[in-house]
Amino acid sequence: MANRLVGRFKVPSMVASFGENCIIASLRSIRGYDLSNLLEPCADLFLDWGGHNFAAGFSISPENWEPFLERLKSAAEEITLEEDATEILTIDAELPVSYLTPEIFSLVDRFEPYGEKNEALVFIAKSLRIIDINLIGKTEAKHVKLILDTGKHKWPAVYWQAAEKVKREFDLGDDADLVFKITRNWFKGMETPQLVVSDLKRSKG
């Protein structure tokens, strides 16, 4: 959850879980802020704490929570963040629209197995027509399901945490440039190709 908050608001974030005898918190940082600058001055309040510059956590007794929040308010006034909050996406290749056919898996599969030290390939493609948009989510519509027209094929795509971007950054009928991974979606034993979108903007012009 802390990671999601950082991704959405582009500022350091903290999430806490309150137990009867202990509160456990997880922190994530961004834009050059070192979390040790926040946690070290509060170490006397913690039961335990640790991590590194941009991901850390601590446990604290409930009676020390309010004193911690008071220190946090003071520390927040001293937090400085790097000006450039732009997220950099590493793209492996640009795919012409004509390459977006199910046969693309013959290329993607050559680089398996994917994992921590071998991340899935990331592509960019330009001027794909959005021909269908649906908002999805179990309790709240937070995500977007798209159908993209590439000419011979219609590609389903998902764009997580992007519901608020519909009509603001893209809409039905737009031509869009997108950054994505190519995956297989399994439903009731049937396999369908699917794009997982990392970024999407209206095509210029």
Written as tens digits, the pLDDT of the chain (205 aa) is 887 788 778 888 999 999 989 999 999 988 888 888 888 889 999 999 988 888 899 999 999 999 999 998 888 888 887 765 456 677 889 999 888 888 888 888 888 877 766 788 899 999 999 999 999 887 788 899 999 998 888 999 999 889 999 999 999 999 999 999 998 877 667 777 889 999 999 998 6
Q: Radius of gyration of the chain from Cα atoms?
A: 21
Q: Does domain 93-202 have CATH number 2.40.50.460?
A: yes
Domain boundaries, the chain: 2-76, 93-202
Question: What global pTM score does this model have?
Answer: 0.57
Q: Which residue(s) pair with 14 in the sheet? A: 27
- E-only strand ranges, 11-54: 13-18, 23-28, 46-52
Asked if residue 179 lies in contact with residue 91, where contact means CB atoms within 8 angstroms, the answer is yes
Of the candidates 126, 199, 124, 195, the residue with the CA atom closest to the CA atom of residue 161: 199
Q: Does domain 2-76 have CATH number 3.90.1150.10?
A: no
H/E element holding 8?
A: helix 2-9
